[in-house]
Structure 1
Amino acid sequence: MNKINILYIIWSLGLGGAEKVVIDLCKNIDKDKFYPTVCCLNDKGIFSDELEDVGIEVIPLYKKPKFDPYIIYKIYKLIKEKQINLVHTHLWTANFWGRIAAKLAGVKVIVITEHNVDVWKRRAHFWADSLLASITNKIIAVSNKVKEFYIKMTKINPDKFITIYNGVDLTKFNIKINVLEKRKEFGIEPSDKVIVIIGRLEAAKAHHVFLKALKEVINETLNFKALIIGDGSLKQEIILLTKELNLQNNVIITGLRKDIPELLSIADLFVLSSTREGFPITLLEAMRQGIPAVVTNVGGNSELCINGETGIIVEPNNPRTLAEAILKLLTDQNLSNNFSEASKVRIQKLFTAEIMAKNHEALYLNLLNKPI
């Protein structure tokens, strides 16, 4: 049969969970049935080479800042040139402009993914989501919490939604590295415990809570290093807070990194201090590596991390309880080992990129046979 041409539309392939989902979908989708292309509304992003290296085209449209209706024509033209059968958009900007362009271009199947509990959205955003639902075949939520949030905020018919969990590409972690050399790269002593937190340096990730928790951990005379991996608008604030809390000798802000599997291989503990999440890819990756986790009780975290089985779940915005959980896992090796094994089993059984791709394939084929 003829291959189904899919256009994935996203802002850019930079650091982020949604970006990793698009990359892993493109890599793992059945190429005998589907031909994926990625459209980036901005530039390609630092991770675009992961797709281009395997022959998947990534096309940047360089959208102008703020309101730029001309982007509709650019997307429309691309859809026509590539003879697209199905458009799948990710994140607000792509979800908005991409759906309008796809409808004007006569695309029969339009799918969007909601990746997070987007509390930043205003009433106008939810109104637009509600309006555009009429031209959307299916809205994928990456967790049940995300689905419940959007049903509540938009009043869209629940039948329009489906939950498809994110998955992790297991092949990325089939690596062998010299752990001691990697630790030396960051000046980490053999006796130091290593804590890793990965994510954009933005308010929702609550790095300030993480740092305040570390201040309490250091008071327990535990030797540790914390790697803060990522970049963002709050970088300078985080650097200043690190100095104010006298944590310069314990905290390393790495910036953006492509060697996440290698960095996770030296970690003893993974932490998410976020105030909102969808279904975090970083947590998936950490659990795949068998790293015990301390995460906040937000979004889909509790659908992935089982409290008392694969990690510890704490309430957000509470440095004290976060510190207690960190200390517990860094000092109780038996508990840490048990969580490690349970984490690896859970990911391999339920949350792989292959499973995620197959769930998307089934949805696509069903919708193409049943257009709106």
Structure 2
Amino acid sequence: MRALHIITGLGIGGAERQLRALLRRLPLACDVVTLTNPGPVARQLAADGVRVTHLGMGGNRDVGALPRLVRLIRRGRYDVVHTHLYRACVYGRIAARLAGVRAVVATEHSLGAHRIEGRPLTPGTRALYLATERLGAATVAVSATVAGRLLAWGVPERRIHLVPNGIEPDRFRFDPAARDAARAALGVPRGAVVVGGMGRLVPGKRFDALVRAAARLPDDVWVVLAGEGPERAALRVLSARLGLAGRVVLAGGCPDVPGLLSALDVFVSPSTEETFGLAVLEALAAGLPVLHASAPVVEELPRSQAPGARRVGAGPAELADALTAELALGARRLPVPAAVARYGIDRSVDRLMNVYEGVCRR
């Protein structure tokens, strides 16, 4: 069996990192096409020995990319085409059917209640999604929350398959040497307390609320944000306006996520509309206390499975109060919770292979 994975971009994001984790374990030959942005994860995949092709798509309406994608799929003679993220799902499902591949699987990584991948869920966006969804054979939901949303949209239950995201827990184990190296690279003083967040720098992630909260905290508290996106400049301006320019580090598309997590003392996810919470899971695997506004990865489990994760309000004042209470307990590492073992990547791979085999049989 040969599979082609089509993804919108390969910057540092949850869907992109999840794709790499899957490809490191999937027991079949896989190639990858990125429609745009062959960023850090593209380089990591290439280093893993995965063939990555950049389609060079100019934008959402670059329909000239469609025939190029059709030709690529035909040449590869793939048994399965698997799409990830909205634009890749729309174009990829159409291209796969035109190329004669009917075993088309799409993973829905980022379907929120009001937004999809940061963009508002307009009637047109929803209609296009549903029209192209019918061209596929199966739609994978990364959480029960996403599965429920797909069902409410009218996607038939028989086509929805729950395959939670997974990680390789040992990769995120706390490493004191990595902590010192990462802090030095980020320019963080040795005695500083570091609060961190990770994800695309877009309004929906609400990292501005974390920066505003930091302005209410003592001067020895630093904020490190890992990720790229259109909000980067605005966050830099906001930090300067609040007098935090020296204490807010925009780390960019950090390729060493385990090292970054070792450098932190508290992890914060201020987004109110997460569909899984992969970064939360990775932070828990690193033994970090986690404050989150939304994280199905732990909210769908009993509280005892992730005692180090606490749901908090998303406003700056609420975040500041929660951080003050957390920091009063002192910088510490927590035992890795049971939730981490539930989301091992091998379980995700087994479930995904069952989906592949089912759609190929049909």
TM-aligned CA distance change 1:129 to 1:231, over 3 Å:
closer
Partner Cα distance (1:178, 1:208) in 2? 27
Distance (Å, rounded) in 1 between the aligned partners of 2:2 and 2:32: 11
> More deviation in 274-283 or 175-184?
175-184
What's the CA shift string for 1:284-317, capped at 9, x where partnerless?
211111111001036556237948712110133x
Distance 1:341 1:101, change over 3 A: same
Aligned to 1:364: 356
Write out aligned runs for 1:76-155 (5 A).
Answer: 76-118=70-112, 119=115, 120-152=120-152, 154-155=153-154
Structure 2: distance between partners of 1:88 and 1:363? 11
Aligned residues: 354
Post-superposition Cα deviations, 1:1-38, rounded to whole Å, max 9, x if no partner, equal xxx110100112111111112111111111xxx11111
SS in 2 for 1:265: helix
Cα distance, 1:183–1:114 mapped onto 2, change above 3 Å? same
Residues 150-196 of structure 1, C-alpha deviation per residue, up to 9 Å, x if partnerless? Answer: 322x3222232122111113353366725334333334333321111
Give the letter for the 2:50 counterpart.
Answer: I
| Aligned residue runs from structure 1 range 248-259, under 5 A | 248-259=245-256
| Structure 2 gap ranges (5+) | none
TM-score of the superposed pair, with normalisation by structure 1? 0.88
Which residue identity does 1:216 align to in structure 2?
A: R
Once the 2 structures are TM-superposed, how far is the Cα of residue 235 of structure 1 from its aligned partner?
A: 1.4
**C-alpha distance 7-234 of structure 1, shift in aligned 2 (>3 A):** same
What letter is aligned with 1:261? P
- Structure 1 position 239 matched with structure 2 position 220: no
How far off is 1:273 after superposition? 0.7
* 1:315 paired residue number: 313
- 1:74 and 2:68 are equivalent in the alignment: yes
Which is worse superposed, 296-305 or 61-70? 296-305
For residue 277 of structure 2, what is the aligned residue in structure 1? 280
What residue in structure 2 maps to residue 8 of structure 1?
Answer: 5
User: Is the partner of 2:78 in helix, strand or coil?
Assistant: coil
**Preserved contact between residue 116 and residue 276 of structure 1 (Cα < 8 Å):** no
In the alignment, the residues of structure 1 paired with residue 322 and residue 301 of structure 2 have an alpha-carbon distance, to the nearest angstrom, of 18
Equivalents in 1 of 2:29, 2:180: separation in Å? 42
Identity value in percent: 25
Aligned to 1:42: 36
**How far did residue 70 of structure 1 move?**
2.6
Q: CA RMSD in A?
A: 2.3
Corresponding residue for residue 46 of structure 2: 52
Q: What residue number does 1:341 align with?
A: 335
Q: Contact 2:3–2:31 (CA<8 Å) still a contact in 1?
A: yes
Deviation string 1:31-77 (CA, Å, 9 cap, x unpaired) is: xxx11111111243222122222321111111232322232221211
Q: Which amino acid aligns with 1:313?
A: R
Conservation of the 8 A alpha-carbon contact between 2:277 and 2:295: no
CA spacing shift, 1:304–1:238, aligned 2, 3 Å: farther
Equivalence map 1:178-327=2 (5 Å):
178-218=178-218, 223-297=220-294, 300=297, 302-303=299-300, 306=303, 309-316=307-314, 318-327=315-324
Contact 2:3-2:81 within 8 A present in 1 as well: yes
Instruction: Indicate the larger mover: 242-251 or 194-203.
Output: 242-251
What is the rounded CA distance, in whole Å, between the counterparts of 2:149 and 2:213 in structure 1?
Answer: 29
Secondary structure of the residue aligned to 1:88 is strand
